[in-house]
Structures are given as structure tokens and as C-alpha cells.
Amino acid sequence: MFTHILNETSYSPKKFLIWTSFAFQAGCVNVGGFLACHRFVTHTTGFATFFGSEMAKGSVSMALGYLSVPLFFLAGAMFSAFFTDRRSLHNHKPNFLIVFAVMWVCFLTVIILSEFQFFGVFGEEISLSKDYFLISLLSLSSGLQNAMITSVSKTVVRTTHLTGLTTDLGIGLIRIFSSPTEYQRHQEIQAIRMRLGIIIGFILGSWLGASVFYKYDYRGFFIPFLITSLFLFLSIKNRLTKV
């Protein structure tokens, strides 16, 4: 049932809840990375900017470190696509379970290592020697999630950043008034509701996440860990019911 919901092509309330939950999780992860080491981790744009900035200052090693972080996002996206999009192209059901499992391991690793102060003091200025593994793990998990949702939504939805969604929202608001048929207008309204839900979910995840991170430091990553645990459990349950 869970896999069936993710594979639906229509804008169903259950799918709306799932996508909003992913956006909430991404908002929490992003603010956690920012508060931990002053870097956003759920998209790659900032790292390209930091690369340019560090190169201009002559800090080549730091620049290359920043440039390599998006490769973890890319690796996560490729891994996710291999088990979701590739299977769909060959008329097989996507394997969401393994994607959630790897995300689960990423967050669990962050939680365990932070308890041993592997990443240093929460909130200190970034140090690649301490924080590189943290931002790489968070970028990897974001790439996994974003590619999975992009695949099942037929490239309509992104949940780890809001730039594309905000652009689509602006286009959709104009299409409401310019769609030639009532059906197209109705479809656009549904899409706008979905985009607004994802944007609000991301904002709420950032808000609640920040409140927890300010109080409990790295333990705030328990929020995305628990959300991923829920989806992993549902995926396992779905797999067992088909055995």
C-alpha cells in the first residue's frame, strides 16, 4: 500500500502527506547543518559559491573540499535513481526500502558520531577536518531523498530545496487564469496546493528543527532519523505483506 501511494500519478491526500513529511524532514536537516557548521546541506548551490569564494582567497584546499561535497549529493541521487527510476523504466516496481535504509544509516551515523564529539563543538565555525564528514553525510541523504521524490513524481516535485518549487508556483499561479480548459485549471490548482504544502512543510521543519537544535545540539538529528525510521518501517511492512 505504501509503495502504491508513492507511485500514484494523481495528487492524492496521502501522497500530499508523504511529500510534505519529506519536505519537513529536509527543512530540519538543512537547518541542522546550518546551525552545526554554518552551511546549508540539502542543496548544492551554496557549495559552488563557497568554492568560488575560497578560490578567490587562495584557499585551494578549502575550495576543493567545498567542491567535493556536492559529489555526495550526486552519489545519493545516482544510488536512489538506480533503485527507483531505473527500475521504473524497465517496468519494475521501485525499491524504496533500500533507499530509506541508506538514509537511515546516514542519520544514525551522524547521531552516534556526534555523541562521541567526532564533529567537534556544535555551532563552531566550519572546520573541514571535523565537519566534512557531517556535511557529506547530510548531502548524501538529501540526494537520496530528492532523487527518489523526483523520480516518483515524474520530475514535478523536489523536497530538499525550494527554488524550483517557488518558480513552479509562480508559473502555476499565472496558469490558473490562462488555462484554456477547466480540467487544466483544476489540475494546476491541485499542483499549487501540493507546492504550497511542500514549501510550508520545509519551513515548519526548519522552524521546529531549529528549536530542537538550539536546545539539544546534534541530538536534533533524531527528528529526521525518526521520520526516516517510520518510512523504512512502512517499506519493510509493505515488502513483508507481499511475501
d(C-alpha 142, C-alpha 122), whole Å: 21
Residue 157, SS3 per DSSP: coil
The residues, ordered by sequence, that sit 6+ positions from 203 with a Cβ below 8 Å of its Cβ are 27
Alpha helices in 38-158 (DSSP H): 45-56, 60-83, 85-89, 96-115, 128-152
Cα end-to-end span (Å), the chain? 14
**Is it the case that residue 47 has pLDDT exceeding 50?**
yes
Rg (CA), the chain: 19
**Is it the case that residue 80 has pLDDT exceeding 80?**
yes
pTM: 0.89
Q: Among 139, 158, 142, which Cα is nearest to 150's? A: 158
Q: What angle do CA 130, 135, 138 make, to 5 degrees?
A: 140
Residue 171 Cα to chain centre, angstroms: 23
- pLDDT tens per residue, range 98-107: 999 999 999 9
| pLDDT of 92 | 83
**Is it the case that residue 233 has pLDDT exceeding 70?**
yes
Contact (CB, 8 A) for 238 and 1: yes
| pLDDT of 10 | 56
| pLDDT of 210 | 96
d(C-alpha 157, C-alpha 165), whole Å: 7
**Is it the case that residue 5 has pLDDT exceeding 70?**
no
Ranges of each domain in the chain: 26-161+218-241
Overall average pLDDT of the 173-186 stretch: 86
| pLDDT of 126 | 77
d(C-alpha 203, C-alpha 62), whole Å: 30
- pLDDT tens per residue, range 132-176: 899 999 999 999 999 998 888 776 777 777 888 888 889 989 988
Least confident of 5-14, 56-65, 157-166, 221-230: 5-14
- Residue 218 binned pLDDT confidence (cut-offs 50, 70, 90): very high
**Is it the case that residue 1 has pLDDT exceeding 50?**
no
Contact (CB, 8 A) for 189 and 11: no
